[in-house]
Structure 1
């Protein structure tokens, strides 16, 4: 298998089925669209100028050079702090709604937590949803570095994503493996590369982009035509899922799809209310009334919310299909500084069914919160 071997004993570049469609695009003259779905590192955090120096921007510049004569468009679907589960629910609105997508990079290994099933559901949901709704799109998984995945051979989050990549033949680029090797050979000082332990500075973004470029050159300009044809036949259908509760049918609904009690108002954040991790419209339903509630109905295996949590957020409760209410307190240290979107996914059901959701505010709040605010940005369903 082609690839750059590292001291962990496996390649940084794992081509699998390759990118036959992107190779074929070289022979034409039509437009090429690449999308970048991920967290803050994909969005460009750490880079001195996100739209010029991030790994995403540098990869886009390389694609512009590679597909000279083609109109090349790049979509930034990176949102700080988001997991693959939220990525699967964002995929349609933030990526596929933009029209034909030729190449999709997915980067979530840093933000996904220790819940293996949830990571599988998220990454598998992205793959299956993409292949069902946009079968011409080719995917690449990108694994960036963080303290938690520089601890030894095949760290947990990357290993879980690799299960999905291997099952569906998705190429993967293990930037964390490259960083791990360079740290242990003395070529790289991690504390200078990413001072906060997550977000690389310009040199780090350039290193990631160089590895991505190496793979793209290998897969697109030096790929085998015969191998490309064989690979194209590999995705004519979807195999049975690894997890039947994956987020293949995940999506976001506007907050207005719910039915709200009279205490809610509909507004945008005020200038003095800072917003982080969200570059999209932020109009939402808002209340501080502890008696306020809202309801919505979807059909699927799962429902959820995207809430704007911040300095005045309180504790809420939800109920599914008239069942007992469960409490949600998502207040954390980040809430002290700004509002940000926080996805809340309710438990996955074994079968698709009608889900009637009731959410109500309470008089309770975190000791650090300044109020009992409830702000609804999106509704989630799968």
Structure 2
């Protein structure tokens, strides 16, 4: 092994490896690879996301390395979203596409940099959900660079994700660690590769793809005997008992709304971080109330928030109403998905939720409306 390869080795932690896809590369003609993450996975910063992002370049590498295989690549990156929503949208955005052989997971930049518990709930929920619904899928965690992930040898978000990876034997590739090493040694200027500090330009995406290719060059061995598969994941104790193993998105049609109307955003409405259907329930009426019931440990909403969104309130199982203001500095610019999570229940049970607008708004908002895209249940 070269000196440079040896120095970079500790940024790759192989753990259980990729036994499933190695077996499939040896004996099946079609392979499906999914990419679950935030805007960096989606391809933000690249001149053309579907050709120049690290995701697209990784797909190109796999197809060129295994020219006799037919590959399907699933882009399940959604900008500005964290592993909490990732666990809830996993089935709709990944598993409904069919059998998945390999899935890369990237949320270290978007997960909250102080909420260890929630980050574990999201990442562990993704791992356990795959172990339950798609046990033959190999997983690999990726850690991308941002200021908070370039703060030393063991940044908070990466350390938390590594807790989950180590517990379940998930391999990980630490892009941010490599970038930190190169920048502190004076061999790289990160802002030249990611002008906003987060989203790589074409050169930055190519750098990430090269780092991942080093791991895949060594790890992908078609026909290699499969070691213990992911099916034993559920035999391990959970790190966080309220993880999102059962996270899912549900249609708003499973609930009941009075004084709501069915809408979609118009073509000229500003929209970011969402490539999917914008159908939603809309209201700006104080007479409106939306109610739904799910069975699980926690309920929530996936809302379409934007320039005219107001303050809403919710009640769970008859509790007093609690007001929620999710309006932030991005809302005046465009509509985007934002999640509202309601309190965790002590045990899995029926959860009855009521939601209504308050008629109040953030001082920056143009209105008091509420838009419901999906229901969350775990």
The two structures have a TM-score, normalised by structure 1, of 0.95
1:13-48 CA distance string (max 9 Å, x none) = 000000111111222232100000000000000001
**Deviation at 1:326?**
1.0
Does the 8 A contact of 2:298 with 2:377 survive in 1? Answer: yes
Q: 2:268 aligned with 1:242, yes or no? A: no
Q: 1:13 matched to which residue of 2? A: 12
For structure 2, the 5+ residue unaligned runs are none
**Deviation at 1:327?**
1.1
**Deviation at 1:236?**
6.8
Does the 8 A contact of 2:131 with 2:233 survive in 1? Answer: no
Q: What is the distance in 2 between the residues matched to 1:372 and 1:237?
A: 44
Segment drifting more, 323-332 vs 72-81:
323-332
Q: 1:43 matched to which residue of 2? A: 42
Q: What is the distance in 1 between the residues matched to 2:229 and 2:99?
A: 18
Q: 1:33 matched to which residue of 2? A: 32
Q: 2:182 matched to which residue of 1? A: 182
2:288 to 281, 284, 292: 292
**Deviation at 1:330?**
0.5
Does the 8 A contact of 2:119 with 2:161 survive in 1? Answer: yes
Pick closer, same or farther for the CA change 1:95–1:234 going to 2, 3 Å: closer
- State how 1:92-131 maps to structure 2 within 5 Å: 92-113=91-112, 114-131=114-131
Segment drifting more, 158-167 vs 283-292:
283-292
Q: 2:331 aligned with 1:341, yes or no? A: no
Q: 2:328 matched to which residue of 1? A: 332
Aligned residue pairs total 375
**Deviation at 1:213?**
1.0
Q: What is the distance in 2 between the residues matched to 1:373 and 1:71?
A: 46
Q: 2:250 matched to which residue of 1? A: 253
1:319 to 305, 315, 322: 315
Does the 8 A contact of 1:300 with 1:355 survive in 2? Answer: yes
Q: CA RMSD in A?
A: 1.8
Runs of 4+ in 1 over 4 A off after TM superposition: 2-7
Does the 8 A contact of 2:293 with 2:350 survive in 1? Answer: yes
Does the 8 A contact of 2:22 with 2:226 survive in 1? Answer: no
**Deviation at 1:229?**
3.7
Q: 2:305 matched to which residue of 1? A: 309
Does the 8 A contact of 2:124 with 2:164 survive in 1? Answer: yes
**Deviation at 1:291?**
3.0
Segment drifting more, 61-70 vs 352-361:
61-70
Q: 1:371 matched to which residue of 2? A: 367
Does the 8 A contact of 2:15 with 2:169 survive in 1? Answer: yes
For structure 1, the 5+ residue unaligned runs are none
Does the 8 A contact of 2:131 with 2:231 survive in 1? Answer: no
1:283-327 CA distance string (max 9 Å, x none) = 000011133110000000000001111000000001100001111
Pick closer, same or farther for the CA change 1:338–1:5 going to 2, 3 Å: farther
1:91-144 CA distance string (max 9 Å, x none) = 000000000000000000000002100000000000000010001100000000
- State how 1:143-292 maps to structure 2 within 5 Å: 143-221=143-221, 225=224, 228-232=225-229, 235=232, 237-261=234-258, 263-292=259-288
Pick closer, same or farther for the CA change 1:238–1:67 going to 2, 3 Å: farther
Q: What is the distance in 1 between the residues matched to 2:271 and 2:286?
A: 23
Q: What is the distance in 2 between the residues matched to 1:93 and 1:322?
A: 30
Does the 8 A contact of 2:13 with 2:173 survive in 1? Answer: yes
